[in-house]
Amino acid sequence: MKSFLKTVLAVVVGLFAATVLGTFCVTCAMVASLTVSDGNSRSATQPGDVMFLKINGEVNEVPPFRPFTFDALNGFQMNQNLSLREYLDAIDIAQLDPNIVGIYLNTDGMTASPATYEALHDALSAFRRSGKWIVAYNDNYTLGQYYVASVADSVFVNTIGSVAFDGLASSSLYPKGLLDKLGIEMQVFRVGTFKSAVEPYMIDHMSDANRLQIGTYLNNIWKRMADDVAQSRGIAADKLDSLANEPVGYMLADELAKSGLVDNMLYKSEVEQILLDMTGRDELQGIKAKELVDCSHDQWFPQDREHKIAVLYATGEIASEARNVSGSDDIYYEDLIDEIRDLADDDEVAAVVLRVNSPGGSGFASEQIWHALEELRAQKPLVVSMSDYAASGGYYISCCADYIVAEPNTLTGSIGVFGVIPNFSRLTSGRLGINFEEVKTHKFGQLSVTRPLSSAEKQKLQRTIEDFYGLFVMRCAEGRKMPLESIMEVAGGRVWTGSDAVRLGLADELGGINRAIAKAIELAGLEGEPCSRVCYPSEQSSFESMMQMFSDEADDLSLKVAEKLLGAMPIDRTSWSFIRHLQQADHVQARSFDVVEF
């Protein structure tokens, strides 16, 4: 015991020292990066400029809450990735700015979800339709990266590169067998045959219903992508299906060029020479996307106009408690409600666009957000713009809007409810030799994870889940002005694409964030009037982000202490965050976990 306490104390002291040292290093990195930025950044565009659009890393809906990254090899580094919002702004500005003649596009290392890929694809398509050119080059292309690049006038890949044009997939982890071996029982309560979020805790394989819904939306997403590529590249759609069933990534250079997916296989220096020939210059002159946004945003998107359209971002899981989990970007309901009420009371805000990118979460929190949005809608127009996900609780908070605009590849719907209460009794008593006893005044006095639920407790929880499901479908029916029976037909936890959602009445129109803003202006009666787009919540300052990064040290400490307590059982951060999440999650969850992989 004495040795254990010494170890814990050493961990605490070490973390404290690391935090102090880390803060100093980050501060130095900030100063250094700002100094370098000031020396090399462009402050204005020049005639004949090319915009260098390098999209790498994960593309998030809003700017990352951490301006720095850290790893053992490279130390602290500025996070150079832009958000989807910033990339779209850069493309729009490049289209409007007469000094910019074209885009040099690189998507090496880019990862995103289907709707984000499509939003970038469509923005670049609009840029090209304006009469300006796009040249794309990658060392290698994944399917998603290629889809974005396929709109270019010329698509190049390295001489020994590849194009992974190999279709879509969605994989699910089924840990029930492992949980059984550990002695952990997940007591599941749900409504909805297609509510697959809890399926991995109930069975050890994919159900027919879940396989059906995943297969349906994967095929829908694929068809849209294939149609877009066919149009951009002039390749028949059936040929693309054939290519997807061939090992395109392993084709020889001449075979890949003959496929029509790329125009040529060249070295990067050769592509840059082509750009020099196109611009008639001896030296490639251009401006980076971030520089363009920083120096030109207010010129093309003024913030001081009389009428304002607020774009309120709701991204992440919907949480009823603020959680300090590393990398967390939860929608903490009280914070979002404060923003909603401020916008409702702001006379300068003519309408609100709620940009939703959420798989759902707490049922309680979803209902509170819904109520706040209902109050806002009574005062001014509310339009929802769906991003990658607006599923389950994400749809719950969307359904009351005056108008819903969904991306074609948005994953939405999932109108269903579940609850999970783990039972660790076989693990604690059978394996660890720990016995828990309880004394209570009434039979429902405490729901415990150290014993199985009684039949009465299970009935009570199932009734709670069913009651909330009834409330959920009623909110949808009222919000969408549809008969309850019609909502029930498309509910049951089933996930739909945005295209399906419009067809089924769950959304009004297909489009991106700009279309949603235009609709908000229309509903506010301000068509033809100058309006400013203002985004909420406001971005964190660098100092606030730095403090947020170091606030995660508490989780590091709890992780290390847990490893010591459990001895030889190693715990990774993901597993520990999952355990913490189970502890903090509400009993009633409106959540979807479906992920499409490129």
pLDDT tens per residue, range 195-205: 888 899 999 99
Q: For the CA atoms of the chain, what is the radius of gyration?
A: 26
Last residue of a domain, one of 267, 298, 329: 298
**pLDDT higher for 324 or 409?**
409
**Does 386 share its domain with 256?**
no
Interval 568-597 mean pLDDT: 55
* Residue 154: strand, helix, or coil: strand
**pLDDT higher for 334 or 37?**
334
CA dihedral angle for residue 343, residue 345, residue 346, residue 348, rounded to 10 degrees: 110
pLDDT at 192: 87
How many domains does the chain fold into? 3
Under the banding of pLDDT at 50, 70 and 90, the label for residue 565 is: very low
Which residues, other chains included, contact 326 with Cβ-Cβ below 8 Å and sequence gap of 6+?
Answer: 552, 555, 556, 573, 577
Which residues, other chains included, contact 416 with Cβ-Cβ below 8 Å and sequence gap of 6+?
Answer: 190, 191, 192, 194, 195, 392, 469, 472, 491, 492, 493, 494, 590
112-129 b/e (C-beta count within 10 Å ≥ 16 → b): bbbbbbbbbbbbbbebbe
Please check the confidence at residue 262 and state whether its pLDDT lies above 90.
yes
* Residue 89: strand, helix, or coil: helix
Interval 237-250 mean pLDDT: 81
**pLDDT higher for 257 or 353?**
353
Question: Residue for token digits 């996307």?
Answer: 289
Residue whose C-alpha is closest to residue 436's, from 241, 47, 427, 196: 427
pLDDT at 111: 95
Interval 232-259 mean pLDDT: 82
**pLDDT higher for 322 or 365?**
365
Last residue of a domain, one of 298, 313, 335: 298
How does strand 318-319 pair with strand 331-332?
Answer: parallel
Q: Is residue 199 part of a domain?
A: no
Selecting among 195, 288, 380, 560, the annotated active-site residue is: 195
Under the banding of pLDDT at 50, 70 and 90, the label for residue 64 is: low
Q: Is residue 195 part of a domain?
A: no
Interval 321-334 mean pLDDT: 70
pTM comes to 0.85
Interval 96-122 mean pLDDT: 96
- What is the 8-class DSSP label of residue 75? E
**Does 292 share its domain with 277?**
yes
pLDDT at 197: 86
Interval 94-105 mean pLDDT: 96
pLDDT at 37: 44
Q: Is residue 194 part of a domain?
A: no
Q: Tell me, what CATH number does 460's domain have?
A: 3.90.226.10
**Does 456 share its domain with 559?**
yes
Q: What are the φ and ψ backbone dihedral angles of 62, each rounded to 5 degrees? A: -125, 165
Which residues, other chains included, contact 249 with Cβ-Cβ below 8 Å and sequence gap of 6+?
Answer: 162, 163, 164, 165, 166
Residue whose C-alpha is closest to residue 312's, from 244, 381, 254: 381
Please tell me the number of Cα atoms within 13 Å of 496 on its side-chain side: 21
**Does 12 share its domain with 94?**
no
Interval 122-138 mean pLDDT: 98
**Does 306 share its domain with 416?**
yes
**Does 279 share its domain with 404?**
no
**Does 377 share its domain with 390?**
yes
- What is the 8-class DSSP label of residue 155? E
Q: Are 412 and 395 in contact (CB under 8 A)?
A: yes
The 133-138 sheet, strands edge to edge = 264-265, 154-157, 133-138, 100-106, 49-54, 286-288
Evaluate the omega torsion of the peptide bond into residue 530 and state whether it is cis, within 30 degrees of 0: no
Please check the confidence at residue 11 and state whether its pLDDT lies above 50.
no
The neighbouring-strand residues paired with 382 are: 352
Interval 211-227 mean pLDDT: 95
**Does 291 share its domain with 391?**
no
Selecting among 154, 162, 328, 392, the annotated active-site residue is: 392
Please check the confidence at residue 115 and state whether its pLDDT lies above 70.
yes
Any catalytic annotation for residue 195? yes
Percent of the chain having pLDDT more than 90?
A: 63
Please check the confidence at residue 266 and state whether its pLDDT lies above 90.
yes
Please check the confidence at residue 574 and state whether its pLDDT lies above 60.
no
Q: Domain span at residue 565? A: 302-585
pLDDT at 196: 87
Please tell me the number of Cα atoms within 13 Å of 100 on its side-chain side: 29
Please check the confidence at residue 377 and state whether its pLDDT lies above 80.
yes
* Residue 106: strand, helix, or coil: strand
Q: Is residue 200 part of a domain?
A: no
**Does 403 share its domain with 482?**
yes
Please check the confidence at residue 496 and state whether its pLDDT lies above 90.
yes
Residue 196's identity, in one-letter code, is S
Q: Is residue 353 part of a domain?
A: yes
Q: Is residue 481 part of a domain?
A: yes
Q: How far apart are CA 418 and CA 585, in angstroms?
A: 12
How does strand 495-497 pair with strand 531-536?
Answer: unpaired
* Residue 421: strand, helix, or coil: strand
Q: Is residue 186 part of a domain?
A: no
344-372 pLDDT per residue, tens? 999 999 999 999 999 999 999 999 999 99
Q: Are 535 and 313 in contact (CB under 8 A)?
A: yes
- What is the 8-class DSSP label of residue 429? I
Q: How far apart are CA 484 and CA 475, in angstroms?
A: 10
pLDDT at 568: 43
Please check the confidence at residue 563 and state whether its pLDDT lies above 90.
no
CA–CA distance from 459 to each of 194, 468, 482 (Å)? 21, 14, 31
Under the banding of pLDDT at 50, 70 and 90, the label for residue 478 is: very high
Q: How far apart are CA 477 and CA 399, in angstroms?
A: 8
**Does 506 share its domain with 527?**
yes
pLDDT at 282: 84
**Does 35 share its domain with 52?**
no
Q: Of the given ranges (9-13, 89-93, 490-494), which has the lowest mean pLDDT?
A: 9-13
Residue whose C-alpha is closest to residue 386's, from 367, 413, 364, 347: 413
Q: How far apart are CA 404 and CA 423, in angstroms?
A: 40
Q: What are the φ and ψ backbone dihedral angles of 510, each rounded to 5 degrees? A: -90, 140
How does strand 382-391 pair with strand 495-497?
Answer: unpaired
Residue whose C-alpha is closest to residue 389's, from 320, 328, 318: 318
pLDDT at 445: 79
**Does 320 share its domain with 437?**
yes
pLDDT at 433: 87
Please check the confidence at residue 325 and state whether its pLDDT lies above 70.
no
Please check the confidence at residue 14 and state whether its pLDDT lies above 90.
no
Q: What are the φ and ψ backbone dihedral angles of 183, each rounded to 5 degrees? A: 85, 30
**pLDDT higher for 440 or 141?**
141
Residue 588 CA from chain centroid, whole number:
23
pLDDT at 585: 57
For the stretch 273-279, contacts whose Cβ atoms lie closer than 8 Å and that sit 24 or more positions apart, written own/partner, are 274/135, 274/154, 275/50, 275/104, 275/135, 278/102, 278/133, 278/135, 279/48, 279/50, 279/101, 279/102
Any catalytic annotation for residue 392? yes
Q: Is residue 590 part of a domain?
A: no
Please check the confidence at residue 247 and state whether its pLDDT lies above 70.
no
Q: How far apart are CA 355 and CA 385, in angstroms?
A: 5
Under the banding of pLDDT at 50, 70 and 90, the label for residue 582 is: low
The tokens for 485 are 């029976």
* Residue 307: strand, helix, or coil: strand
Please check the confidence at residue 557 and state whether its pLDDT lies above 80.
no
The tokens for 156 are 């190049």
Interval 409-416 mean pLDDT: 96
